[in-house]
Amino acid sequence: MHKFGIRYEDKYVMERRVALIPEHVKELVDKGIEFEVVKSAKRVFTDDEFERAGAILVDEVTNSTVVLGVKEMPIDFFEDNKTYIFFSHTIKGQSYNMPLLKKMIEKKVNLIEYERIVNEKNQRLIFFGRFAGLAGMINSLWSAGQRWKELGIQTPFLSLQQTHEYNSLDEAKEAIAKVGDEIRENGLPEEITPLIVGFTGYGNVSMGAQEIIDILDVKEISPGDLTGEFVDKHKGENTIFKIVFKEGDLSEPVDPQRDFVLQEYYDSPELFRNKFEKYIPHMSILMNCMYWDDRYPTLVTKDYLKKLYENGNPKLTVIGDVTCDPDGSIECTHKGTEIEDPVFVYNPETGKPNMGFKGYGILVMAVDILPSELPREASQTFSNALIGFMPDIAKANFEVPFDQLELPYSIKRALILHKGELTPEYEYLKKYI
């Protein structure tokens, strides 16, 4: 039976989440599974809670053979032949984490990637996505209020705080509801009407973000409705309009004679080009909530933003880049930001960002660990999904050949490395290392 270690999260100062909560640690301890937990003053669940659950508190993970974390682990952290479970951010061949993957190969470790714990339909089973969307939307509304203030416009959104300032998700939602009450009573400044919020994607992240905006008086419209004429027609109205963009709204075949076919888009994205730019000038806030990798067309390019600003200050004020891919689908997102320094203003003329709310350009909110702004609820939900797999991982014999390895289907599919070797499904990563 493997002994589990829960490490201290050190990538970000305000990373407060944990993969397994004390309640679930106790369930596993009661089944004979040992735990050691590295002490942490910032973790949302206290050391005392883990100790009462039966875990041994330690200064460093010592003799655990399976180590759990949330974010990437330091490159010098890995020990030979152990098993590590965390978000490695390697499955897209991300260049910044290839040295990490290479080190794990050298150490002959087993790597289980949360992002690839999926069912037979390839649907993710363990994720923080909803909480990224929730926190991302709260942060973006707060950011919009602050940015409009910098532009000399006072709005009801000024009463909002950054997500982590609230004690709970319920408290944050109450604050959003009060903004809705104020809009109904006093309206919105005409300069920002109609207030239009666009969402790319329709998965867990997008649904979380929509859960927040739907607290306000929102009317959903289709992408086809979003035109300059629509904006002019609804000027001065206090309704907040919501639009959800799907793949076919974002891209079109390069060959104008071809129809958009979703499976073809997934299989051969090089045959498609961006058509999203026609919508960008008409939105107030863009929430980027969809999966993207560099095979797909870029949604918002730096060149496009430069052209947009050459015609004067556009309507689009805030981009909430929840997906947070550096130099990715939102090309001006040069990096993920930290909770304590969450936003920057991108200057489309110079191509340079300026941290904070001041400056010429468009404000980008790109916090890399948004779920950690709701650490208790996010950890609870994540742990609920993970605990069922832990007994099988505890019993697994990782020394046998991969094809003989007895693990639940979803965990075996998530095994990127087995004894330092890329497993069959992930051999494509060799070209990135």
Residues 101-122: tens digit of each pLDDT: 999 999 999 999 999 999 999 9
Averaged pLDDT, 211-234: 96
- Is there a single domain that holds both residue 410 and residue 368? no
Clarify whether residues 282 and 189 are in a common domain.
yes
> pLDDT tens, 335-385?
999 999 999 999 999 999 999 999 999 999 999 999 999 999 999 999 999
Confidence label for 232 from pLDDT (cuts 50, 70 and 90)? very high
pLDDT confidence of residue 293: 87
Q: What is the pLDDT of residue 287?
A: 98
CATH number for the domain spanning 66: value is: 3.40.50.720
For residues 180 and 287, membership in a common domain is answered with yes
Question: Are 98 and 152 in the same domain?
Answer: no
Task: Give the integer Cα–Cα distance in Å for 201 and 251.
Answer: 13
pLDDT, tens only, 122-151: 999 998 899 999 999 999 999 999 999 999
% the chain with pLDDT above 70: 100
Of 354, 373, 392, the residue at which a domain comes to its end is 373
Q: Where are the alpha helices (DSSP H) in 237-284?
A: 247-250, 262-267
Tell me the mean pLDDT in the region 31-38: 97
Provide mean pLDDT across the span 194-215.
Answer: 97
Which pLDDT score is estimated for 24? 98
Please tell me the predicted confidence (pLDDT) of residue 311.
85
Token readout for 245 is: 């963009």
Domain check: are 123 and 193 in the same one? no
Average pLDDT over residues 405-413: 97
Write down the pLDDT at residue 212: 98
Sequence-ordered strand ranges (E) for 247-350 = 251-253, 272-274, 285-288, 318-321, 343-347
Q: What is the pLDDT of residue 254?
A: 95
pLDDT in tens, 152-169: 999 999 999 999 999 999
> Which residues constitute the domain of residue 332?
129-373
Mean pLDDT over residues 420-428, rounded?
96
Compute the average pLDDT of residues 59-71: 95
Band of pLDDT at residue 299, cut at 50, 70 and 90: very high
Residues 150 and 113 occupy one common structural domain: no
CA distances from 185 to 175, 178, 179, 188, 238 (A): 15, 11, 10, 10, 10
Rounded CA-CA distance 303/263 in Å is 29
Q: What are phi and psi of 27, to 5 degrees?
A: -60, -40
Total of domains in the chain? 2
**Statement: residue 312 has pLDDT above 90:** no
| 361/427 same-domain check | no
d(CA 112, CA 110): 7
For the segment 72-92, the average pLDDT, to the nearest whole number, is: 95
pLDDT of residue 50: 98
